[in-house]
Amino acid sequence: MEAAQETVDTATEAREMLVEPRFRGVADRFFDLFQTTANGGGALAVYLHGELVVDVWAGWAAKDKKWTHDTVALCFSTGKGVASTVLHRLADRGLVDYDQRVAVYWPEFAANGKGRITVRQLMSHRAGLHNARAFAKGPHGLLDTEGMATAMAAAEPDPRRFFGPGYHALTYGNLVAEVASRVTGQSFTDLLDQEIAQPLGQRGFWFQMPEEDRVRVARVFPRIRTGLGWSATSRVLARIPRIAAIAEAGMADGFDELVRSPHAHDAVMPGWNGVFSAPALARMYAPLANGGLIDGQRFLSTETVEQLTEVQTWARDYVLGIRPNWRLGYHPAWLRVKEQPRRSVGHYGYGGTGAFADPETGLSLAFVSNRLGNNLTTVSDLRLPRLGAAALWVARNAA
């Protein structure tokens, strides 16, 4: 692995928008999304064969503040893909073995029958530790990084893990971060900088965000609402057998308020509190779409890229109720097209943000926004699937 290049804050330097002519239609679709303050704001970045071809932004970071080139956004589960990439960088250097037991790196993890769970199983949501409601104690329990790790290490895993994956909506990032920190003896914040930001020359990656940079974060809206209130709804849903796992995995106490609070940036919670810029995300996925290379530098080996694009389990996910076909820390790009990019890898987040790489076309794309979903639901919408489909069409037809 070549030595990391000196960090250059390209997100700050790139003060002009960029649209390569073939992608004008994609950019037009993007600009149409942000016509009023009710639409909020966002940014879109696209790489093709390792070259930046789209870098645009529009709309409002807050009701009285325009989105600019250096605005960043809370991207929720999009961060799972970033955290996974950190671990892949370590595996690439032989520091982590996907088929090794997690307990070899994190001895306490062996408690209560988890001694045989491997890193591969953990990265494909088969560790049986989806229940964030059980591990996060109190309204701010999700911010207790050490407490979450201790609780999960001591927990008995859900037996359904033997039959299929169970989406670790809020716990996945904690698990990956703890393994990475145990292996290296470093904080995950330092690893994020050393393994992702520095080699890519991008500063637009945070989980625990410095106070001086928080002014750049777009204001998330609207509030996450449920009919009975968040806590009451999650308790009710947790008693209904068919959907209990959804509440357990994604409805920890206080999450609805925490996502709009400055305290969301106080801790390292890679499953949900990642703050990113679109150019940074798209650049991180660019080598995953191009055999591990970016700017002629080796970011990941071709062997590692091949492994991380392989489907790890075809079974139905007992939390989501669908077959996500989990890769090693990613899911496939879900786009508004008939012919899906079947070797793609990426991760989408609550509200509609996300990023992906498609090795078949050399395309990587990232979309971030502070507007959660649409008027019907804050969970997600079709903005990213449609933008991704438009960009994929161009990439598939590129000369």
Is 14 within the bounds of a domain? Answer: yes
177 pLDDT more than 70 = yes
pLDDT at 399: 57
Q: Is 77 a catalytic residue?
A: yes
Is 77 within the bounds of a domain? Answer: yes
pLDDT at 138: 82
Determine contact, residues 28/179, Cβ cutoff 8 Å.
Answer: no
The model's pLDDT over 118-130, given as tens digits with 9 standing for 90+, comes to 999 999 999 999 9
Is 298 within the bounds of a domain? Answer: yes
Distance CA 187, CA 181 (A): 6
155 pLDDT more than 80 = yes
4 pLDDT more than 70 = no
Q: What domain range is 44 assigned to? A: 10-396
Total structural domains within the chain:
1
Is 214 within the bounds of a domain? Answer: yes
Domain harbouring 361, CATH code: 3.40.710.10
Residue from 77, 234, 364, 369 carrying the catalytic annotation: 77
Is 3 within the bounds of a domain? Answer: no
Is 2 within the bounds of a domain? Answer: no
15 pLDDT more than 80 = no
Is 4 within the bounds of a domain? Answer: no
Is 107 within the bounds of a domain? Answer: yes
User: SS3 letters for the chain?
Assistant: CCCCCCCCCHHHHCCCCEECHHHHHHHHHHHHCCCCHHHCEEEEEEEECCEEEEEEEEEEEECCEECCCCCEEECECHHHHHHHHHHHHHHHCCCCCCCCEHHHHCHHHHHHHCCCCEHHHHHCCCCCCCCHHHHCCCCCHHHCHHHHHHHHHHCCCCHHHHCCCCCCCCCHHHHHHHHHHHHHCCCHHHHHHHHHHHHHCCCCEECCCCHHHHHHECCCECCCCCCCCHHHHHHHHCCCCCCHHHHHHHCCCCHHHHCCCHHHHCCCCCCCECEECHHHHHHHHCHHHCCCEECCEECCCHHHHHHHCCCCCCCCCCCCCCCCCCCCCCECCCCCCCCCCCCCEEEECCCCCEEEEECCCCEEEEEEECECCCCCCCCCCCHHHHHHHHHHHHHHCCC
Whole-model pTM?
0.94
What average pLDDT does range 191-202 have in this prediction? 97
